């Protein structure tokens, strides 16, 4: 399904039919210059890659989370390239996330090699990165569930919530 969206129109929201993991990967591969997420309602969110400064900031945030996770020893850290299928069907890619290892192990070996069908236990979204949809992301993530948290960080390194 080829389409053209100019940068000044990003983020853009499109409506799409439900997709399997494999169909979503194939769709994303057709558009390598864009990043995609999908809401539980089937809206495809089209985003340009992050700006370089945001990418540098995300690396610092991810490194700090990884350092903590190694010391803690209970979970697994993923970077912004990891996609998750949330319990409500939304497909999200937080800037950094941490999931208790036992929850990942419960997925089984085959499912661990694909998108994890779970909500990470801790999600970091740095700067709204051209995403006017953080309320939807929190709702999609089901962060009201036990032990789930979302942390938003602004460009000064402070937190937004």
Q: What is the pLDDT of residues 1-57, one digit of tens each?
A: 566 666 677 778 888 888 899 999 999 999 888 889 998 888 999 887 888 988 898
pLDDT of residue 130: 44
Q: Which two tokens stand for residue 106?
A: 């419960």
Q: Which pLDDT score is estimated for 161? A: 39
Element at 36 (helix H, strand E) = strand 35-38
Closest CA to 37 of 140, 121, 146, 118: 140
Contact 78, 96 (CB under 8 A): yes
Once rounded to an integer, what is the mean pLDDT over residues 68-85? 95
Task: Measure the CA–CA gap between 136 and 9, rounded to whole angstroms.
Answer: 19
CATH superfamily, region 51-160: tt1808, chain A (3.90.1570.10)
């Amino acid at each position: 399904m080829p389409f053209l969206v100019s940068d000044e129109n990003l983020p853009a929201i499109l409506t799409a039919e439900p997709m399997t993991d494999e169909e979503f990967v194939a769709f994303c591969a057709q558009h390598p210059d864009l990043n995609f997420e999908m809401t539980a309602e089937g809206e495809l969110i089209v985003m340009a890659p992050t700006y370089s400064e945001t990418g540098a900031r995300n690396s610092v945030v991810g490194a700090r989370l990884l350092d903590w996770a190694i010391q803690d020893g209970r979970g697994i850290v993923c970077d912004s390239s990891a996609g998750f299928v949330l319990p409500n069907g939304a497909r999200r890619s937080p800037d950094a996330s941490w999931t208790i290892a036992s929850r990942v192990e419960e997925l089984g070996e085959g499912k661990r090699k694909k998108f994890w069908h779970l909500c990470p236990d801790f999600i970091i979204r740095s700067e709204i990165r051209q995403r006017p949809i953080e309320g939807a992301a929190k709702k999609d993530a089901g962060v009201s569930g036990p032990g789930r948290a979302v942390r938003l960080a602004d460009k000064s390194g402070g937190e937004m919530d």
